[in-house]
Structure 1
Amino acid sequence: MSSQSLYIITGANRGFGEALALTIAKTIQTGLRFILIGRNLPGLQLVENQLKQHSHIASVDLIAEPQGLDNASTTSQKILAALEPLVSAQISDISTLALINNAGSTGDLAQKVGDYCPDSIQSYVDMNITSYITLVSGVLHLYQTKWKAESRTLQLVNISSLLAVQPFSNWGLYATGKSARDMLLAVIAKENQASSSIRTLSYAPGPLNNDMQRRVRETLDDPEQSALYNEMAEKGKLVSMDDSARKLVSLLQDNSFTSGAHLDYFDI
């Protein structure tokens, strides 16, 4: 078996997903393969072009789905259906297979929990919990039934948040989604504790200096939090996406973290 690694990254057409892909390419100098998943094909192609500038990258495949991970049926019938043959065609060369779930949404940060309507709750849960479970479960099933080998490791990674473990007002949907995703990976770690080939990690990247954090500052209806985030932005204290990506890549390379753990950028 080759010592190549295959990284599947959701939300890869921009933001932290893009930063992760480019950081992996710069950091890991052995054979690399990527499958990038996102809503926007031109955005994915821009990332692909940057990745292909590195000679050690063996392949870059794209799955562009305008509906993204909005619901379980799209995730199963389109994204997983496209993913299975792409991975299967190259799995014999892969020693490490990693699924990094970066895609997600914040919900309406102008609202407190009592303001939610059933449709907005359902829409948020469909994208950030139901589809997430569908994708993780699907990849895990494919690994266990088709892709598993004695020396092949599966890493399931959730881009989490401090909000998964600590409550703040106006983040009810987001915090619920992140904590649910953390717990799913903790359960998978427990179910596979006898095996070292399946490893899970929830990584909180810190308050990143990106478009999502800008939207948070513009829409979060909590004066104390808004003042804090605006001060961080003004004083350059937001976390660089590249710095945070490097910490995650280092964790995955070292592979000594406790499977099922939630680790924060500031604690590493």
Structure 2
Amino acid sequence: MESNVISHASGAVSNDFGRALCVITGASKGFGRCLAKQIAALLSPGSALVLVARSGDKLRELQTDLAASDAGKKGLVIRCVTADLAQKEAVEETMKAAKQTNHLDIDRLILINNAASLGDVSRFAVSFTDPTETSSYLAFNVSSALSLTASLMDAFPKRPGLRRYVVNVSSLAALKPIPSWVLYCTGKAARDMMFRVLAAEEPELRVLNYAPGPLDTDMHLQARTDSGDLAVQSSMRDSHTQGQVLTCEESGTKLLKLLLEDNFTSGGHLDFYDV
């Protein structure tokens, strides 16, 4: 991670996030797992990480890795929540873990809404005749992000000295229709607008829709293998073969740089290639 000494709007100068509470969803693998490791290195002693995912084993592996790293030696509090965010109980469990850090005198609250699924990309829009299937997808990919964000902002309200950040891990699919990706495009577009509204309603919040670019993850493998639209499948496969996909570390570095610099327009959509 490159060093960034930044003058924030508040006038403070910092090369890290100070004493912070950071909540990351979808943290067990891929981009979320990478972000957890990267951001841990930028937290001051006594900070807390709440890591949320459906895979408990992978979360515990990550927790062990972080505890053994330089970040762990700083006394970083790491809490894992194994849960499916499509369920109300999962949001409640995440909030319980976050509230356990209420005793910390934090400088920053950072929520990274990373959890998402591609959905069934083998089919086209006209095949989704069952509303239960669509509702289930949207519960995990859209509703849960709103519920968790609202709950966390309510539990940690604005106060002098606290800067609050909400990141929505977005996609080009929020802006561009991609054949056979109707669920994914719909979910990403809905999330972008949801967080644009949040930014308009809460001007004190720093809200960012960040599209990390094409990442070399399990989701990219699914896209280039299962996409029903053969042109999309071929394009995804070619981008991977030709080395045009990004590592999670590359994109994560750019996201954290954006947060440290804190110069983005709140509620805006920024792609990896835009900055």
TM above 0.5, one fold? yes
Cα separation, 2, equivalents of 1:24 and 1:76: 22
Structure 1 residue 106 corresponds to structure 2 residue 124: no
**Cα-to-partner distance string for 1:68-111 (whole Å, 9 max, x where unaligned):** 1123x22443333x234323232x2x101100011111111011
Query: Does structure 1 retain, via aligned residues, the 8 Å contact 2:99–2:155?
Result: no
**Number of matched pairs:** 254
- 1:206 deviates by 0.7
Cα separation, 2, equivalents of 1:259 and 1:83: 27
CA RMSD of aligned residues (A): 1.6
Aligned residue for 2:56? 41
Aligned residue for 2:85? 69
Cα 1:41/1:14, change in 2 over 3 Å: same
Aligned residue for 2:8? none
- 1:161 deviates by 0.3
Residue segments in structure 1 that go unaligned for 5+ positions in a row: none
Secondary structure of 2:99 counterpart: helix
Cα 1:183/1:229, change in 2 over 3 Å: same
**Cα-to-partner distance string for 1:156-179 (whole Å, 9 max, x where unaligned):** 111000000111111111111111
Aligned residue for 2:5? none
Cα separation, 1, equivalents of 2:43 and 2:30: 23
Residue segments in structure 2 that go unaligned for 5+ positions in a row: 1-16
Aligned residue for 1:203? 210
Aligned residue for 1:30? 44
Aligned residue for 2:174? 164
Aligned residue for 2:162? 152
Aligned residue among 233, 237, 258 for 1:230: 237
**Cα-to-partner distance string for 1:22-42 (whole Å, 9 max, x where unaligned):** 12234x263342111111222
Structure 1 residue 18 corresponds to structure 2 residue 30: no
Aligned residue among 174, 192, 197 for 1:187: 197
Cα 1:119/1:246, change in 2 over 3 Å: same
Q: Which amino acid aligns with 2:190?
A: A
Greater helix share, structure number: 1
Query: Does structure 2 retain, via aligned residues, the 8 Å contact 1:25–1:57?
Result: no
Q: Which amino acid aligns with 1:188?
A: L
Q: Which amino acid aligns with 2:176?
A: Q
Cα separation, 1, equivalents of 2:230 and 2:81: 40
**Cα-to-partner distance string for 1:143-199 (whole Å, 9 max, x where unaligned):** 22xxx3201011011100000011111111111111111111111111122x3xx11
Cα separation, 1, equivalents of 2:197 and 2:117: 23
Aligned residue among 103, 108, 127 for 1:96: 108
Cα separation, 2, equivalents of 1:203 and 1:131: 18
Query: Does structure 1 retain, via aligned residues, the 8 Å contact 2:224–2:233?
Result: yes
- 1:129 deviates by 1.4
Secondary structure of 1:69 counterpart: coil
Structure 1 residue 139 corresponds to structure 2 residue 152: yes
Secondary structure of 2:76 counterpart: strand
Cα 1:142/1:109, change in 2 over 3 Å: same
Q: Which amino acid aligns with 1:112?
A: F
Q: Which moved more, 1:117-126 or 1:10-19?
A: 117-126
Cα separation, 2, equivalents of 1:219 and 1:89: 47
Aligned residue for 1:177? 187
Alignment of 1:110-129 (within 5 A): 110-116=122-128, 117-129=130-142
Aligned residue among 202, 221, 225 for 1:218: 225
Cα separation, 2, equivalents of 1:29 and 1:182: 27
Cα separation, 2, equivalents of 1:246 and 1:162: 19
Cα separation, 2, equivalents of 1:242 and 1:75: 28
- 1:57 deviates by 4.8
Query: Does structure 2 retain, via aligned residues, the 8 Å contact 1:188–1:260?
Result: yes
Secondary structure of 2:36 counterpart: helix
Cα separation, 1, equivalents of 2:215 and 2:119: 17
TM-score by length of 2: 0.87
Secondary structure of 2:107 counterpart: strand
**Taking every aligned residue pair, what percent have the same amino acid on both sides?**
31
Cα 1:29/1:126, change in 2 over 3 Å: closer
